[in-house]
Amino acid sequence: MRAIPFDLVIIGTGAGGGTMAQALAGSGARILVVERGEFVPTEDQNWSPEAVWRDMRYRTTERWLDECGNPFVPYMHYGVGGNTKFWGSVLYRLRREDFQQMAHADGDSPAWPIDYETLAPYYDRAEHLYQVHGGVGDDPTEPPRGPFPHAAIPHARGMAAIVDQLRAQGLHPSPLPLGLLDPGAPGGCILCNTCNSFPCKLQAKSDAEVCGVRAALRHPNVVLWTGALAQRLLTGAGGTRVQAAEIVRHGEVVRVEAPLFVVSCGAVNSAALLLRSASDAHPNGLANSSGLVGRRYMAHLATMMQGFHPFRVNDTVFQKTVAINDFYLSGPGRPYPLGQIQSQGRTHGVMAQVVGDTMVAGIPRWAYDWWVARGVDWLVMSEDLPRNDNRVTVEPDGRIRLSYTANNLAAHQQLVTEATRILRRLGFWKVMAHSHRSKNTTHQCGTLVFGTDSRSSVLDPYCRAHDIENLFVVDASFFPSSAAVNPGLTIAAQALRVADHITTELR
């Protein structure tokens, strides 16, 4: 095994790792960025619904086991930029209340060890880095903040009419904050209908490759290894420091040494990496004196909804511009939070035809195309609560097992019911709802919770492992609660905060 020294190793290039690489690139430290996947190629298939949804061209083929031991293909992408290459780029700040303990229908959502004000300056920086477009003043749950770096994307004609009708219903629709590069400008985003779940063929989506990794690689001190899978972290004598990472690259096992390691493999894979790194000094997995590594997995309760009208063809191309946060903190008629409703990118016929990872047979494609051409798409999202039994474990043969039983379902169902009412009032004849249930891993978080007490958390408030002095984790695994807005901007903001902290160690 060859040993290669660096000052810092970052494992994973998604929202956490890609942002971290960009933030530390200017430090002059010799940084190795390790990514198991390759660059997503720029090609016509980027925007092909058939390639992306029927052929699953960019998804992992890896299979995980569920709580019953049944295999399933997680909705995950391994490549430079991680899942951000496929995200909808809806880049929300958590609400101020999300940082505090909050009573939900199904129990309490715990407080974070930092408050909104601590993260606010890093949200500002993350919004600049990811070029977020948005508008202040309409969202009843908006935390204290200044203006967005870029003005909100205007609603298309059809969505503008819907927004007016939502206001007439007494609701407070607000612009969705979106990370898009130069929309409308030459070479910029063209506001197309293949954004959410598709990679951007123009590289005009604010993702962690474009805004993070590429910017980092302009610095000669940053090296990226693709096709490089971290399989174990090895501690030295005493077991309090990571000495090396064992990386499988081009079929060769390489031992990479550094004084500092930042893990950012995504909430499931980071937990799995620490569990696979069990040793005599750490028999239950690395950094696991609390017993919490892999536990408290959360992923949001999410239902896709569509309002359908047989005589109204939906001519909107770029649809995801509006959110309804009226029920985020309570109600209607309920003292507890229900969650968020946001408009979604357009559904394509083939997307409607795919359920889980299989195509529905028997109904012709034209029927799906006809149907989705007359639909307006929404995402209804609620918070799921951390439970110790919802967890990632690693089987003796190395496979990941994800055991998850959804909770807070009643609140989510109330939100779906409320969304149905709203859509019916908008004049849609039929409202359809579809949930990926427990197999939706897109918003995975919480498996390495951060906190001040090493008995009840894995990471400290700067995302350093309590047990391992030179190990940080900056992906979504640090979340103590899942909140009910998209997680990406919070991951990026905390990565910037941790990067500032690490900079002092590199000096």
Site for ligand FAD, rule CB under 6 A: 11-17, 34-37, 75, 78-79, 82-84, 86-91, 196-197, 229-230, 264-267, 269, 273, 442-443, 475-476, 486-488, 491
- Select 85 or 464, whichever has its Cβ closest to ligand SF4: 85
Residues with Cβ within 8 Å of residue 110, at least 6 apart in sequence: 101, 386, 480, 481
- Residue 284: other Cβ atoms inside 10 A: 13
Q: Residue 192 CB, nearest distance to ligand SF4 (Å)? A: 3
Q: Residue 434 CB, nearest distance to ligand SF4 (Å)? A: 23
Residue nearest to ligand FAD (CB): 14
The site that binds ligand SF4 (CB under 6 A) totals a number of residues, namely 12
Binding to ligand SF4 in span 152-211, by CB under 6 A:
180, 189-192, 194-195, 198, 200, 202, 204-205
* End-to-end Cα distance, the chain: 30
Q: Residue 446 CB, nearest distance to ligand FAD (Å)? A: 11
- Residue 278: other Cβ atoms inside 10 A: 16
Among ligand SF4, ligand FAD, none, the one that 210 touches (CB under a kind-dependent 5 to 8 A) is none
What's phi and psi for 187, nearest 5 deg? Answer: 80, -5
Q: Residue 49 CB, nearest distance to ligand FAD (Å)? A: 13
Whether the bond into 332 is cis, omega within 30 of 0: yes
| Residue labelled with tokens 């096992």 | 253
- Select 205 or 374, whichever has its Cβ closest to ligand FAD: 205
Among ligand SF4, ligand FAD, none, the one that 189 touches (CB under a kind-dependent 5 to 8 A) is ligand SF4
Q: Residue 284 CB, nearest distance to ligand FAD (Å)? A: 19
Q: Residue 128 CB, nearest distance to ligand SF4 (Å)? A: 17
- Select 105 or 293, whichever has its Cβ closest to ligand FAD: 293
Q: How many CA atoms lie within 13 A of 76 on its CB side?
A: 21
DSSP SS3 for 439: helix
- Select 191 or 476, whichever has its Cβ closest to ligand SF4: 191
Pinpoint the alpha helices (H) of 26-105.
49
CA distances from 254 to 217, 272, 282, 495 (A): 22, 19, 22, 27
Judged by CB under 6 A, does residue 40 bind ligand SF4? Answer: no
DSSP SS3 for 108: strand
Rounded CA-CA distance 376/347 in Å is 8
Rounded CA-CA distance 38/328 in Å is 38
Among ligand SF4, ligand FAD, none, the one that 229 touches (CB under a kind-dependent 5 to 8 A) is ligand FAD
Q: Residue 198 CB, nearest distance to ligand SF4 (Å)? A: 6
- Do residues 265 and 231 make contact, with C-beta atoms less than 8 angstroms apart? no
Rounded CA-CA distance 131/505 in Å is 29
**Interface positions with ligand SF4 (CB under 6 A):** 180, 189-192, 194-195, 198, 200, 202, 204-205
